[in-house]
Amino acid sequence: MKMLNVNQISPIKGYTLFLNKTEEWVTTVLQNVLPFKKFDLESIQGKMNFLRTNLNIDIDAKISFVHYPCCARCGKEIETHENINFTAHLAPLHEDERSKKHHKEDELELTRDDLDFCFYENDSIDLESLLNDEIALELKYNYYCQDSEKCQLIQTNNPHITLNDTVDPRWAPLKKLKMN
């Protein structure tokens, strides 16, 4: 878990964190968030700028990387360049404030403008989960080949892949177990 103590952020100069392959937590995030977990380590580039106004933190960040999701139609790997920009606004959450908010739930109602607003606790920002959430929001649900001519459906002669079949051969061993 990568935490940033807010006291590291200068109220005058702010703080900049560069994102690249040397930041192990960034590669951990990519491994967790990318559906096919395959990415180019060397391609990771980005930075997070932090500004502090009293205890409120503004984050302006960008990250780019190359990953290789599989086409949802034919299963071929597609080299995909992602360029993700995001901003976040954080305020401290204190123990007493949390219980107060719990009792006055109507005060917690968030509007659309508040969607990039969140809290941090114990003077530390959890950068790992922040980056994880921001990347997850930007990724596509499915990836498809750009060139539809080259996008061929998977051959059906593979015994482990069934199309329009009511019985999946992979379940056969399980079925046997059940009968014994």
Identify which of 22, 16, 23, 27 has the alpha carbon closest to the alpha carbon of residue 65: 27
* 70 makes contact with Zn ion (CB under 5 A): no
Given the complex with Zn ion, which of 15 and 144 has the nearer CB atom? 144
Given the complex with Zn ion, which of 139 and 151 has the nearer CB atom? 151
**Shortest CB 70 distance to Zn ion, Å:** 8
Binding to Zn ion by CB under 5 A, coded x per residue (else -) over 96-125, reads ------------------------------
Given the complex with Zn ion, which of 5 and 142 has the nearer CB atom? 142
User: Are 56 and 89 a contacting pair, CB within 8 Å?
Assistant: yes
* 71 makes contact with Zn ion (CB under 5 A): yes
Choices 80-88, 98-106, 125-133, 143-151 (CB under 5 A): range interacting with Zn ion: 143-151
Given the complex with Zn ion, which of 21 and 76 has the nearer CB atom? 76
Output the 3-class SS for 76-123: CECCEEEEEEEEEEEEECCHHHHHHHHHCHHHHCCCHHHCCEEEEECC
Cα(21)–Cα(41) distance, rounded to whole angstroms? 6
**Shortest CB 39 distance to Zn ion, Å:** 19
Residues linked to residue 17 through DSSP beta bridges, in sequence order: 48
Ramachandran angles phi, psi of 67, nearest 5°:
-135, 170
Which residues are at the interface with Zn ion (CB under 5 A)? 71, 73-74, 76, 145, 151
